[in-house]
């Protein structure tokens, strides 16, 4: 283990906690709980390549505490829905807390939030299985797969039911936190509903947001001006809290929220991650069929179902979301709370509801293997364009900003409105690697390691300067850095000593 891997392991140790014998990793100083994205990715691609058994326990934590499993969840046909935060220690310095979410009825043990995040779970489990087998742990890998397969499958099935109920091939998000938080591609919908909903219907929200936010404060409670510049605005939090209140009114019934919520976006990046998970769940099913030949029939049926789901999504993204003018995939707003129903995709497009903001989310389709031929080449060209997404300097790789650099709202310091994130660079690079674009993939992988070379494990970096931003000792970034060090070792020679 060299100094880089030692630094990364120290981050995991610093953030590690244990509950009922299961380890979990807190997401960071701003995020004092285990987040779904972070937990699954840390296990699937960070820990799995150094300690697959430890990674398995991380997934066990997620399955036990994050997936909705109560009688109320069963009544709503939402069993297996993955909550995006598990509130392991009620009362920690975080806003909005579990007392605001009030989603306790969905879980038997610990409360979660009332929304989800990117559905990486099936892909992470496949990665852990592969790493365990490669490490000579075939017996443990087989037992792990037998144990988790039903829950992983259930977590995917529920997302199809509640986020693509009309089988159009693109999944919905109900809150910006299910995607890339304050990304400008959410603005038109988030700021599109009448603000009187916040001031008149939920009057306490506007008053309390400035005093309850912890993400812009230091541990002593003082507001940190630098954090203010890097984080979403008060108005963003007012709007999101309004969405939460509406979901609570609807009892976290996902089907009701689909039609009657204030925010329903057919989202490219969320859907692309689910497309990859569908592919990988089909592969898990085939592995189970091979291992249990006498019980192969239901597993083979599962593999066919999820292969078909991937193809459905591929067609949906290419038909509805592809914007041939820009050579990008774009989200579509289907929100229509006035008529208490979501718009069909075709109608939403006919009404001009395509959200034409060029963000890193479009490139998530690379991770899924969705674009081919001309679409693949146009996406790659956009990635390398120095005016839009191809931020290079000092021979330290290619940084992909979260928002195109030619967008008037581009801000290289502000969260998802410009900074480059390790996780997104890694995700895109993996897709490029599978597509045979090895040199371009390695430029993205190399950029992921920039803050590590400076002794930092940063949440994100300024794509114009490479300077670290957000939380330091950020384990989600660390997980993907560790994967790169192990899987692309030739890049170590390009890091400053």
Tokens representing residue 189 in the block: 């919908």
* pLDDT given for residue 404 in this prediction: 98
The distance from CA 160 to its chain's CA centroid, rounded to whole angstroms, is 17
Contacts of 203 (CB under 8 A, 6+ apart): none
CA distance 370 to 275: 8
Phi and psi at residue 466, in whole multiples of 5°? 80, 0
390 in Cβ contact with 398 (< 8 Å): yes
How far is Cα 369 from Cα 387, in angstroms, rounded to an integer? 25
In total, the chain counts a number of residues equal to 497
25 neighbors 18 (Cβ within 8 angstroms):
no
CB 349 within 8 A of CB 273: no
Predicted confidence at residue 11, as pLDDT, reads 92
- What is the domain partition of the chain in residue ranges? 21-148, 385-497
Cα gap 277→315, rounded to integer Å: 16
User: Beta partners for 322?
Assistant: 329
pLDDT digits (tens, 9 = 90+) for 320-342: 999 999 999 999 999 987 777 89
Residue numbers of the chain with a pLDDT score lower than 70: 1, 496-497
**Over 388-435, what HEC string results?**
CCCEECCCCCEECCCECCCCCCCCCCCCCCCCEEHHHHHHHHHHHHHC
Q: Are 41 and 58 in contact (CB under 8 A)?
A: no
Crossing angle for the helix pair 373-384 and 438-448, nearest 10 degrees?
A: 40
For 3-39, the pLDDT digits (tens) are 889 999 999 989 999 999 999 999 877 899 999 999 9
Tell me the pLDDT tens digit for each residue of 421-478. Answer: 999 999 999 999 999 999 999 999 999 998 887 888 999 999 999 899 999 999 999 9
Inter-residue contact 321 to 170 (CB < 8 Å): yes
Which pLDDT score is estimated for 493? 87
The reported pLDDT for the residue numbered 497 is 60
Pairing assessment for the beta strands 328-329 and 265-266 based on DSSP bridges: unpaired
pLDDT for res 238: 96
Is the CB of residue 212 less than 8 Å from the CB of residue 240?
no
């Amino acid at each position: 283990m060299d100094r880089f891997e030692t630094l990364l392991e120290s981050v995991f140790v610093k953030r590690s906690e244990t509950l009922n014998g299961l380890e979990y990793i807190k997401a960071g100083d701003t995020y004092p709980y285990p987040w779904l994205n972070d937990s699954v990715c840390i296990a699937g691609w960070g820990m799995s390549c150094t300690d697959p058994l430890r990674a398995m326990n991380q997934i066990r934590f997620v399955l036990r505490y994050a997936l909705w499993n109560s009688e109320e969840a069963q009544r709503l046909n939402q069993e297996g829905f993955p909550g995006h935060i598990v509130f392991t220690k009620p009362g920690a310095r975080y806003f909005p807390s579990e007392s605001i979410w009030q989603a306790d009825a969905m879980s038997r043990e610990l409360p979660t939030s009332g929304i989800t995040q990117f559905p990486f779970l099936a892909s992470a489990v496949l990665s852990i299985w592969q790493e365990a087998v490669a490490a000579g742990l075939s017996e443990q890998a087989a037992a792990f797969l037998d144990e988790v397969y039903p829950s992983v499958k259930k977590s995917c099935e529920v997302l199809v039911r509640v986020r693509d109920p009309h089988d159009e091939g693109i999944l919905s998000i109900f809150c910006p936190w299910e995607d890339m938080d304050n990304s400008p591609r959410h603005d038109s919908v988030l700021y599109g509903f009448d603000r009187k909903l916040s001031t008149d219907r939920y009057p306490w929200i506007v008053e309390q947001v400035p005093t309850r936010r912890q993400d812009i404060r230091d541990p002593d409670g003082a507001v940190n001006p630098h954090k203010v510049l890097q984080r979403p605005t008060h108005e963003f939090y007012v709007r999101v809290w309004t969405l939460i209140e509406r979901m609570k009114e609807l009892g976290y019934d996902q089907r009701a929220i689909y039609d009657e919520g204030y925010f329903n976006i057919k989202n490219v990046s969320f859907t692309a991650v689910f497309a990859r998970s569908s592919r990988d769940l089909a592969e898990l099913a085939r592995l189970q069929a091979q291992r249990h030949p006498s019980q192969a029939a239901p597993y083979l049926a599962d593999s066919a179902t999820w292969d078909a789901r991937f193809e459905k999504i591929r067609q949906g993204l290419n038909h509805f979301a592809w914007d041939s003018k820009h050579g990008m995939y774009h989200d579509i707003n289907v929100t229509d709370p006035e008529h208490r129903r979501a718009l069909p995709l075709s109608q939403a497009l006919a009404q001009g509801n395509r959200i034409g903001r060029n963000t890193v989310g479009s490139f998530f389709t690379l991770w899924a293997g969705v674009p081919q031929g001309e679409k693949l080449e146009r996406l790659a060209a956009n990635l390398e364009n120095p005016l839009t997404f191809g931020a290079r300097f000092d021979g330290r790789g290619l940084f992909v900003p979260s928002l195109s650099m030619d967008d008037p709202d581009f801000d290289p310091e502000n969260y998802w409105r410009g900074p480059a994130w390790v996780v997104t660079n890694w995700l895109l690079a993996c897709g490029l690697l599978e597509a045979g674009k090895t040199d371009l993939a390695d430029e993205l992988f190399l950029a992921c390691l920039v803050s590590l070379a400076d002794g930092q494990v940063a949440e994100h970096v300024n794509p114009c300067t490479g300077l670290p931003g957000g939380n330091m000792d950020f384990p989600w970034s660390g997980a993907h850095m560790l994967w790169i060090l192990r899987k692309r070792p030739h890049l170590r020679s390009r890091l400053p000593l």
